[in-house]
Amino acid sequence: MTTRGIGPTKKARLTDEQVTEMMRLKREGKSISAIARIIGYHRQTVRMHLREKHEDIVAEEARKQVLIEELRGHFQELANGMPVSLRWRLDASRSESSYPTGFQPLRLPGPISLAGRLGLPGAGSAKYTVSEWGRMYNPLPKVKHLTQALREHTKDSDLWVHWDSWRKEVADYETLGGQLVVWVIDKTELERWQKIDPEYMDLVRNWLCGNILLLTSGAAGEELIGSGRDLTTPAGDLVARAADSASRQVLQEYLDGILKEAEQQPQWSELESATAQLRDGEKQKKLKDIIGKIDSALDGIEIMRAFPGHCHLCPV
């Protein structure tokens, strides 16, 4: 018996090779019916696969465009932002300026070769001191990644020889400060909710870490002023809030106790020594020489139109 048919027999879903061939024929101007006869599939099957493939192509082109825009932004940040960011991290802090209550202290950076005590935060409040320490030694993850990318794109630049020299000179101060910061975080985490309201945890930690940096540098610590439920700095910045006014004194004694306990940590005396070494005139002269070389190398990078080398963070 002869099978009556109005077109090719229905077959399984097309292979990638067959779809590619269909796309080629479509680009050549062949009709759906012509492609169906050549491939040996029903025209509805051909139409379905061509539509799906078209949607995939559109989606892929959109992904490529997004990638292109992201890469443009990535390279722009490397070329325009990172030299500035590196200078900002190396620029030694000035002393905190006095501002009326309600105004945030501002830092006006000068050329890195003309800055103050290189490698050290300037004198100021606990909040200011720890903020400046973080700017120099604990930048945001994005800044760390961009620094790594810049290094890989410009790995042949002398910048990184001088950068490594700088990091070596300040390594003890950076490491010991970081260890005490971690100690404060671990110590206060044990008292979350019990003694420290999580809402004020970051403020408390900043105050504690800032005081550690101040005290180990030989400066006076920052006292807290109690009023009602609140513990504030002399400038009026809130540090912590107790459950009630009766428990405020207990909270203040607890925070003072953490500072006393920090003094017993082995890193405390080592950080005092590392800070004193950074203050030494010969050390400052050496750091200033390194910074001058970094400054010149950054000038060279800033005028480059494109970065050589390959960055494993980039898909190109």
Write the CB contacts of 107 (distance below 8 Å, at least 6 apart in sequence).
93, 94, 96, 132
**Span 257-277, average pLDDT:** 96
> What percentage of the chain has pLDDT greater than the value 90?
40
Residue 100 lies in a domain: no
55 and 189 inside one domain: no
Please say which residue of 63, 86, 102 terminates a domain.
Answer: 63
Please say which residue of 24, 44, 63 terminates a domain.
Answer: 63
CB 207 within 8 A of CB 222: yes
162 and 285 inside one domain: yes
Residue 69 lies in a domain: no
Question: Can you say whether residue 236 is alpha, beta or left, with left for phi > 0 and alpha for psi between -120 and 50 degrees?
Answer: left
Q: By residue range, what is the domain housing residue 134?
A: 110-302
Per-residue pLDDT band at 5 (split at 50, 70, 90): very low
Residue 132 lies in a domain: yes
- Residue 170: is its pLDDT beyond 80? yes
pTM of the entire predicted model: 0.71
164 and 44 inside one domain: no
116 and 32 inside one domain: no
Please say which residue of 63, 82, 102 terminates a domain.
Answer: 63
Per-residue pLDDT band at 221 (split at 50, 70, 90): very high
Task: Give the C-alpha distances (Å, rounded to integers) separating 98 from 101, 128, 214.
Answer: 9, 12, 18
**Which tokens hold the place of 9?**
């027999």
Task: Give the C-alpha distances (Å, rounded to integers) separating 213 from 82, 90, 218.
Answer: 27, 18, 9
CATH number of residue 34's parent domain: 1.10.10
Residue 308 lies in a domain: no
Number of domains in the chain: 2
Residue 91 lies in a domain: no
Residue 118 lies in a domain: yes
Residue 55 lies in a domain: yes
Residue 3 lies in a domain: no
